[in-house]
Amino acid sequence: MPFNHNDCYHPLLLRQVPADAVTALDVGCGTGKFARRLAATGLTVDGVDPAGEVIEAARALGSPGPGKVTYHQRDITENGLPAQRYDFISCLASLHHMPFETVTTLREALRPGGVLAVLGLGKPRSALDWTKWALLGPPMNLVARGIVAAGEKLNGGLEPGVQAPIKDWDMSMSQIRRQSAELLPGRTVRPLLYWRYLLLYRHG
């Protein structure tokens, strides 16, 4: 598969998992790479994605243990989620495929003390945003590619050549900050490289 900048943020996302977490949900799981990494820490993981072809590929790759991953072809904007079921919910570069208000569905699926971690995409609007990405992007790109390549080698090679449908994203960082503040009181939004941001919310 082509190089994916999201992969280099997996270690950062794994550090957001609560120490006492047992259950996790990976929304927009694709072929299941991050879901399997969650399961490798011992969690019981549900991976959901509306694209049937990537769910089939994820199931074919199995579950690494010691935890377990179960994959579901599901559109959470239509079918919702069980209330207060998960200790950790991840949503990697998939929120822009849904109405932003879907974060309330994710919030309600968290158990008390549970954490929602969204790795999202936000359009740069300010001169500072453009300057930061123009100056830091190229060298960090090389570092990220090296990290991901090493990880692939250690974890058995490349993922299968199946990719979920790609959708353009158009929310700006200011819109993301404003809407997330309204829907997730107490959340934090941290800008990252490559037009990405990390939104963190702890329930209760």
pLDDT tens, residue by residue, 145-161: 455 445 545 544 445 55
Supply the mean pLDDT for the chain: 84
pTM: 0.81
Q: Give the start-to-end residue ranges of the domains of the chain.
A: 5-124+158-202
Q: Which of 18, 58, 19, 52 is nearest to 36 (CA)?
A: 58
User: Which has the higher per-residue pLDDT, 102 or 137?
Assistant: 102
The tens digit of pLDDT for each residue in 158-202 reads 455 555 555 555 788 889 999 999 999 999 999 888 789 999 999
Q: How confident is the model at residue 133 (pLDDT cuts 50, 70, 90)?
A: low
Query: Do 34 and 8 meet the contact criterion of CB atoms below 8 Å apart?
Result: no
Q: Which of 33, 43, 40 is CA-nearest to residue 148?
A: 33
Q: Contact, 6 vs 33, CB < 8 A?
A: no
Q: Homologous superfamily of 5-124+158-202 in CATH?
A: Vaccinia Virus protein VP39 (3.40.50.150)
Burial 170-194 (b: 16+ CB within 10 A, else e): ebebeebbeebeebbeebebebbee
Q: Cα angle vertex 32, ends 85, 73, to 5°?
A: 65
Which residues does 160 contact at the CB level (< 8 Å), separation at least 6? Answer: 1, 31, 57, 60, 61
Region 57-61: mean pLDDT is 95
Q: What is d(CA 40, CA 65) in angstroms, rounded to the nearest whole number?
A: 5
